[in-house]
Amino acid sequence: MTIFGPGASSLTVTGDGNVPAFNVSEAATNVVLQGLTLTSVTPAAGGGIINRGSLTISSSTITGTNVGIVSLGVLTAADTVVEGNIIGILSIGELTITRAAITTNSVGIFSIIGRAAVSGSAFTENIGAPGGPGGGILNFGATLTVSESTFAGNSGETQGGGITNIAGTLTASNCTFAGNSAFDGLDPSAGGAIFNGGVLTIINSTLSGNTATNGGAYTTPAP
């Protein structure tokens, strides 16, 4: 199934309360959504998309939801804006993101297990879960590759304003981390740009102006 909308500024599809705007079944192997905005009547309850199959979304906006996309299958997002959600994208599977703008969410991307690849994207002003880690990407147990992307002005109350990597594998190459922070005002915080609790490789990247109580650039706790 393919849906070509007239553009994100011209077509809005709204989920009603607990009902998502789209529900992609496990049997759906090639669903394409392009040129639309997804939102929810009740941001604290509703979601934009639940994907159990194979979904590609492009040239679209996902905004004002509890979780913009919950993906248990294969998800590809390109040239898409993810803004103003509690969680922008929650992936438990295979995730590929290219040329996306992930901004002003609590958590931009939450990847669990599986694999995630992000390239050519900008993560800005994501604020992290209350009392928890930030902000741009929260990676738990997944293999995460980030390349040619920018993380700026993201924050986390306890750790990892830009990226928090817990029990996963993170490779960041040709990226810029600038002005990210981890600080809740009371307890010690760690890793303004990156908090690493797994395997971390940083290649040819710039980390500048990031702040935290411990490790403004990045922190890897002792085993």
- The predicted-structure confidence for 108-140, as pLDDT tens digits, reads as follows 999 999 999 999 999 999 998 777 787 899 999
Contact 3, 36 (CB under 8 A): yes
Q: DSSP for 87-127?
A: EEEEESSEEEEES-EEES-SEEEEEESSEEEEES-EEES--
Contact 40, 15 (CB under 8 A): yes
Determine the average pLDDT of the residues in 188-200.
87
Determine the average pLDDT of the residues in 156-184.
91
Per DSSP, 214 falls in state: B
Contact 163, 202 (CB under 8 A): no
Task: Tally Cβ neighbours within 10 Å of residue 2.
Answer: 9
Q: Which residue has the tokens 């990156």?
A: 194
Q: Beta partners for 171?
A: 145, 201
Task: Tally Cβ neighbours within 10 Å of residue 35.
Answer: 18
- The predicted-structure confidence for 28-78, as pLDDT tens digits, reads as follows 889 999 999 998 866 555 568 999 999 999 999 999 888 999 999 999 999
Q: What is the mean pLDDT of the chain?
A: 90
Residue 214 confidence (pLDDT):
80
Domain ranges of the chain: 1-66, 92-223
CA–CA dist 61, 203 (Å, integer)? 31
